[in-house]
Chains A and B, each alone.
Chain A
């Protein structure tokens, strides 16, 4: 997509080469591109071939022969010992490490090949380094490089998920039934056990293994770059490394061939296939890649390389066992009866398309420096951006230290401390529940665990709000962050309303069609939940015990029975006592408390209803009481939402209304009238106000400000701004030409001043 755009611009006659980077004319590159495509095609053939070979030959033997052949040819071509500078002992050690890593990666690669077939291996493993590096940078760093890269990364992940989930590989399902069948060595057995431990099918394990191997390969290539410069070229390093790995693998292969009997009838017939594999997969690919990366850009190379290999992999995946490809197959075994193995499926095709797209997007050169950080404004008012890399600004903090500091912050104050402890308890319970659910394979337990996680999100939000509310005021949050607690309380209230809504919907559905319930596992779980939530209630009600005379008994009548969904319950008494008291101003803690209370009563309901169902078998009672509970939750949340709304709408705080009213009616010497009186609660601790007062010309402004401040402070306003206006002010303002409307408004103001003056000025 995008390279076409770039190509159009460059090829345009009027462009004049002024746009875009200077590029080599594509005609000179054509032969390299063709060469690259052809090599990739041959590599696909080689891999399909090696899959057939691996059925007969043990994997370690296979890798040994491969390395041996490659080392032979490369030593022949490169002459690493006769040419170039001599290699020090230190470098030999590095080459040894390089060889070990190379052996492990090729072992993983070919083991993945045996597990999930050549097609999937090609799709997963044949990505160039640049693709994987940009994928990882999108995933793990903030500066990924725009939405296009993000899309590419998402495509890659979707493709892997497609292979994992939507690809029913029939043969592997068969093999998974008797995985012990063809384990030849301790190594493969170990890998198989590891995969079986993960609990996935074999070909899925292969997919995961290949992804791992791909990451290892990229890391390996990056790490070996410096070594290759030291040694004197990548080719020389490769030759030496292959040689060393041959020596490494030699004893193992000898031991293997002595201890196990080979399945191969005649090694002689395998010479030809081995030769093709060595030549196609290892040597040709390596040399052509190195040539192309010299002649072309790396990104272009990656793009042209990935497309043919995926396409040819798809083609071969379809036609490999077909008779027409027989002449391609060097190993002409009668493989026709196995034509179902690792066949093309819809999932594979889809994932191949996604892989092609993602390779295309991720390998396109990223436009660096597009996202600058705003550092300020120039004197002319134009914004100034900083296009430097983020690395200069972000001094990365070590993770343990970060955790330690945030823990310290959390534990500093009682609100956040309580929420944090309760959150830990809740999470512990959740994970115990989930773990036990997985162990006993009980779906009810697992989904109850998910429900607890869902609830924990409210707690997490409360914790964050409690933390943030202590932050220092900034330019943007000029009054401080205290208001966040109110917003979080509001969101928590909405959360409970949503829960009530869903409980309501489900209970209506169950009322129409009451299901049979299995009350088997319910009691212990709900007792556990009840204990956890009761602890929470104790902690939180201690925090603001003044406000709740919460009568928990009122809910006992609700025989609340259901499998797992209907948590959440609260009673009126609690909510209304809050609404009228208005003292518990910390909306955040109120929201969290309501949440915990809802959960507690939910588990009490479960216990009671389980007993009822087991004793009497009233299944209809379950939806009925869920309905009841939903309404109760809704009613209990309404006061919280109403209070939070009033604060958010900048309404005059009701508890100060009367005092303010009285305060504003007071007469002060020299004060004529006032306008625009605004008083609102900003956060739990700040009540802010602004007022404009009009005074006679002969009073001192500062004195009257002090008097008015005193009165309003007594009335409860602690963040006050008073604008003192005299007659002169209006004259200045009209003189300063503040627009027609304002003058009009002020004229009216003046008239009212006059009016007031007659009435109120004389004491």
Chain B
């Protein structure tokens, strides 16, 4: 935690932080509604728990846990709203390094990585709901041995309060992460059965198809089914004092909770486990096959793709290329191919035997020499020039982009450094030290000679100054 303290304001008290968080959350208009519902939910849950202990019904308790789950579920969204506005918390949820690691960089594409937190929140709340269901199962196993008496007085009232509240909350608060998960995860068995039933129902009455045939919201389903089970319990206890029904319907509600939550926790758990989502594997395979047919690419390996949050894909891949291939060119094409699917991508290009320069010198130098413009290197290297449109590869460069991309306006620093080192070090030195730990190389300045040496051996050595010369020439119109 050492570095974090460097960038953080001094620690304040826990309550101070809490208060500040609260103020940040409260600053948003949208979160007011959610907070209001949270308070109502707490009150409701309190009443329901009281009624649970007064009726002694475990089925109602199981249903109340669903309400508590609602609290978690709705809690996810205000936290998200709040945390996305809290600068201090950004470091903790940022993928990888703290945001304030290097304050020179402000990249818009990486500013928010709170999807990951959403995934964790969804996972935690679904797992908690399942653990609660497990607890209910254990309790009802104990109750089968000794069935206590159930008082039906508040049973129905509690059921309807909980049902109305759950449905009302669900319909009035738009909960993005949970909506996404419930859409994306595989269907629960409850949904499957309802879909099956409603399909046969729509066979009888075709007019209902618009209501019943779309995928049902799993939370609405479980709320309705739980309320139904409680109503049956109430009825049977009232009619015939079958107290065992209470335990049975508690088990039913617990099983339904399992069934509803399990696909969602599997889905979000797989995101947390950094797995490749199965539904994109086909597309990824296709892209990787395309990449491996690019000119110069020998193999693609160590490919890792995973979802960062719900939906955004990240990945890293190693590409081995021919020794005479142009790395930047291949890198650009690989990135371009994969970029359509993978938004956060890192591609490492590597060559075998790269130190041996004999083969390297030929084609590259020739290419470079043939063209005066500086963005020429790619063309002849690519076998499939048809799929790579030459017009797009160099689109109207002279007009506006080149000045922006020109690398080295000064030019004065470059040549002296290289030339200086080139003359001082022999070629073989760089080869021997290629694998030594870097720190020593840095201190002795050994990293440089390797570059100098290879350049020195190139036949087209002279083109390097000339390249910079062209750059300068193009760069000059720039204001």
Contact = CB atoms under 8 A, between A and B. Distances in A.
Contacts of B135: 454, 498, 502
A28 interface: no
Contacts of B302: 721
Nearest to A495: B131
Contact of B240 (A346, A658, A678, A733): A346
A481 to B, nearest CB: 8
Interface stretch (B13-21, B161-169, B173-181, B389-397): B389-397
A650 B272 CA distance: 9
A487 B273 contact: yes
Interface in B100-144: 101-102, 104-105, 107-110, 116-117, 120, 124, 127-128, 131-132, 134-135, 138, 141-142
Interface in A402-460: 443, 446-447, 450-451, 453-454, 457
Which of the four size classes fits the interface of chain A?
A: 35 or more
17 contacts: A147-B189, A165-B248, A377-B285, A454-B134, A688-B316, A692-B346, A703-B434, A703-B450, A706-B435, A723-B331, A725-B331, A729-B331, A730-B405, A735-B375, A736-B332, A751-B404, A763-B417
A450 B336 contact: no
B193 A454 contact: no
Contact of A733 (B128, B132, B336): B336
A697 B467 CA distance: 10
A700 B450 contact: yes
Nearest to B114: A649
B299 interface: no
Interface in B145-187: 145-146
Given A669-B447, A710-B438, A747-B404, 5 more contacts: A652-B98, A731-B405, A735-B393, A736-B332, A745-B108
Contacts of A763: 417, 445
Interface string B408-424: 11100110011000000
Contact of B304 (A479, A649, A734): A479
A667 interface: yes
Contacts of B417: 762-763
Given A475-B281, A725-B331, A735-B393, A657 B2 contact: yes
A752 interface: yes
B120 A678 contact: no
Interface of A is mostly: helix
A77 interface: no
Interface string A471-491: 000011111000110010011
Interface string A161-181: 000011000000000000000
B393 A166 contact: no
Contact of A668 (B53, B145, B410, B442): B442
Interface residues of B, number: 129
Interface string A713-748: 010000011111111111111111110011001011
A263 interface: no
A519 interface: no
A319 interface: no
A487 B272 contact: yes
A154 to B, nearest CB: 9
Interface stretch (B26-34, B199-207, B213-221, B223-231): B199-207
Given A475-B281, A658-B2, A454 B405 contact: no
A760 to B, nearest CB: 11
B120 A733 contact: no
A761 B92 contact: no
A226 interface: no
A652 B91 CA distance: 9
B96 A728 contact: no
Contacts of B439: 666, 711, 714
Contacts of A730: 405
A750 interface: yes
Contact of A729 (B328, B346, B418): B328
Given A377-B282, A732-B332, A707 B274 contact: no
Query: Which of B127, B272, B303, B438: most chain A Cβ within 10 A?
Result: B438
Contacts of A505: 49
B282 A381 contact: yes
A649 B120 contact: yes
B414 to A, nearest CB: 7
Contact of A478 (B240, B272, B304): B304
A147 B274 contact: no
Interface string B297-326: 000001111101000000011100000000
A699 interface: yes
Interface stretch (A2-10, A200-208, A231-239, A588-596): A2-10
A661 interface: yes
A476 B392 contact: no
B425 interface: no
Nearest to A714: B437
B346 A676 contact: yes
B252 to A, nearest CB: 10
B310 to A, nearest CB: 14
A698 B451 contact: yes
In the A-B complex, the 10 residue pairs with the smallest Cβ-Cβ separation, listed nearest first, are: A678-B96, A5-B203, A732-B332, A690-B346, A721-B316, A702-B354, A727-B407, A669-B447, A728-B328, A710-B438
Contacts of A495: 131
A151 to B, nearest CB: 6
A675 B105 CA distance: 8
Given A676-B110, A690-B346, A698 B438 contact: no
B318 A667 contact: no
A515 interface: no
A139 to B, nearest CB: 15
A484 B275 CA distance: 11
A544 B248 CA distance: 44
B275 A650 contact: no
B349 A701 contact: yes
Contacts of B347: 721, 723
A707 B441 contact: yes
Given A451-B138, A649-B93, A700-B354, A147 B196 contact: yes
Interface string A488-505: 001100110110001001
A661 B132 CA distance: 42
A634 interface: no
B329 A732 contact: yes
A476 B281 contact: yes
B399 to A, nearest CB: 13
Contact of B101 (A453, A478, A677, A708): A677
A676 B1 contact: no
Interface string B263-296: 0000001001111101001110110000000000
Contacts of B377: 728
A669 B203 contact: no
Given A451-B138, A734-B405, A484 B105 contact: no
Contacts of A484: 273
Nearest to B196: A147
Given A649-B116, A654-B1, A736-B393, A697 B407 contact: yes
A213 B120 CA distance: 51
A483 B269 CA distance: 10
Nearest to A704: B447
B67 interface: no
B267 to A, nearest CB: 13
A680 interface: yes
Contacts of A741: 108-109
A707 B447 contact: yes
A169 to B, nearest CB: 14
A737 B395 contact: yes
B455 interface: yes
A691 interface: yes
Given A667-B442, A705-B350, A733 B2 contact: no
A682 interface: yes
B407 A698 contact: no
Contacts of B275: 476-478
Given A147-B196, A698-B418, A723-B331, A670 B405 contact: no
